[in-house]
Homo-oligomer: A and B are copies of this chain.
Amino acid sequence: MSAVSRAASRPASRAPSGRLLYAQSGGVTAVINATAAGVIETARTRGVKVLAARNGILGVLREQLIDTSKESKGAIAALRHTPGGAFGSCRYKLKSLEANRAEYERLIEVFRAHDIRWFLYNGGNDSADTALKISQLGKAMNYDIRCIGVPKTVDNDLAVTDCCPGFGSVAKYIAVSTREASLDVASMADTSTKVFVLEVMGRHAGWIAAAAGLAGEGADAAPHVILFPENVFDEAAFLAKVKATVERVGWCTVVASEGVRHADGRFLAEGGSRDAFGHAQLGGVAPLLAALVKEKLGCKVHWAVPDYLQRSARHLASKADAEQAYAVGKAAVEYALAGMNAVMPVIVRTSDAPYRWKVDAAPLAKIANREKKMPRSFITRDGFGITAAARRYLAPLIQGEAPLPYGKHGLPDYVELRNTAVASRLPPLAGA
């Protein structure tokens, strides 16, 4: 990484010329727009015009570009506290250059038509792959383009970086919500609900489920049972733990990752359940676990699935997360303008307590298409809780609040950008 770091600090050989294109990709988060603010504000101070692609890489292919210079300073600043993706995002993975050369030719055509010399792609694993492919186009297609991946994912599963912008805020939301709902359950358990099941995101890695563990510490504190996608679901052990907790504590909070699996690899939630009309039910491991507990243990159960609420809850964002999201946007512009290519600004932790971190550049090749699972050492031996090592890692990520302005109406003052379209310079893409 040191060679890359040196490159970052190397002064640009010439004054920046051309435009910088920024695009958001994959599932959005509470703080991805803070990254956008970091990108745009930093580029503005360097005199570089930022275009944004509508709906991620698709906006490039379709030549649907947005001129961010039409947005006021205040509007860009307000992105720092506005959840969702201000320019639209997409789920779309580029094929390899060999498999779909026409697509890459179109990208270059659009870059060239709008004099785009830097492309910043803000996303997760798949987007890092896209960014890496585009970074390699310069030579292959004889067009000078630098591409920087910018990290974002609530799943916290990107390689190299210590954590992913977006994760800290969902972690804080889940930890706080677990604590609040558990206070509710504790109040009512004598005559009402005894088991509460909270389903959280994280289909392949249990980072978000683990964050729920920050809600309390000690055997009697909620959450009492965490189900990780890293473990095979053991129905008997699960029911035994819930039963023992209800008998000892009086009630039990269960946090289950949406990705909990059977031994054969099937998700619990893909059971092919049907409602009374024979319609296939959509997902939901929480209702399934609730039904199981009710049937086998006979106690009253409630369940919750916050779904998108957890990853869009900017009102409860983590300060560290919001700051890191901004910082990687800022660094990405600095790397790009310094002539770097095929890198991603990542978070490097230098101290657990007090929490200290810095941003450094890492090669996209070490990040694209990899997936960082939770270390086995983060899960307690019985499989249902988090260890002290996990707490050391997770605790700093939810520290601090990131307050946001509320309007007179009692709602957060979220900004809606104008998103002024850049006039097309090319014939439309067939089929786009």
User: Which residues of A are interface residues toward B (Cβ below 8 A)?
Assistant: 24, 27-28, 30, 55, 58, 82-86, 88-92, 172, 175-177, 179-181, 183-188, 190-193, 196, 198, 214-215, 271-277, 279-284, 286-288, 290-292, 294-295, 301-309, 311-316, 318, 395, 398-401, 403, 406, 408-412, 414
Contacts and interface: CB of A to CB of B under 8 A. Distances in A.
A153 to B, nearest CB: 14
A273 B292 CA distance: 14
A82 B27 CA distance: 33
B176 A412 contact: yes
Contacts of A187: 24, 28, 84-86, 88-89
A219 B83 CA distance: 22
A406 B399 CA distance: 9
Contact of A282 (B27, B90, B287, B315): B287
B414 A395 contact: no
A312 B180 contact: yes
Nearest to A320: B410
B410 A90 contact: no
Nearest to A279: B291
Given A183-B82, A308-B196, A410-B400, A176 B287 contact: no
Copies of this chain held together in the complex:
2
A409 B214 contact: yes
Given A183-B82, A184-B28, A411-B214, A305 B304 contact: yes
Contacts of A311: 184
A174 to B, nearest CB: 10
Contacts of A177: 309, 313
Contacts of A306: 304, 306, 309
A426 to B, nearest CB: 20
Contact of A85 (B89, B188, B294, B414): B188
Contacts of A190: 55, 58, 88, 90
Contacts of A84: 180, 183-184, 186-187
Q: Which 4 A-B pairs have the closest CB atoms?
A: A84-B183, A271-B276, A85-B187, A304-B307
B276 A272 contact: yes
A84 to B, nearest CB: 3
A316 B318 contact: no
Given A55-B191, A214-B411, A304-B308, 4 more contacts: A90-B191, A176-B412, A273-B275, A318-B410
A372 to B, nearest CB: 22
Contacts of A58: 190-191
A225 B277 CA distance: 23
Contacts of A24: 187
B191 A92 contact: yes
A80 to B, nearest CB: 14
Contacts of A30: 180
Contacts of A291: 275, 279-282
Given A88-B190, A410-B395, A184 B312 contact: yes
Contacts of A185: 308
A398 B191 CA distance: 31
Most buried by B among A84, A272, A308, A409: A308
A58 B292 CA distance: 29
Given A177-B313, A305-B304, A183 B282 contact: no
A274 B277 contact: no
A288 B279 contact: yes
Given A187-B84, A315-B180, A302 B308 contact: yes
Contact of A281 (B86, B92, B179, B281): B281
Query: Which of A24, A55, A82, A272 is the most central at the interface, judged by chain B CB atoms within 10 Å of its CB?
Result: A55
A214 B408 CA distance: 12
Contacts of A301: 282
A8 B183 CA distance: 34
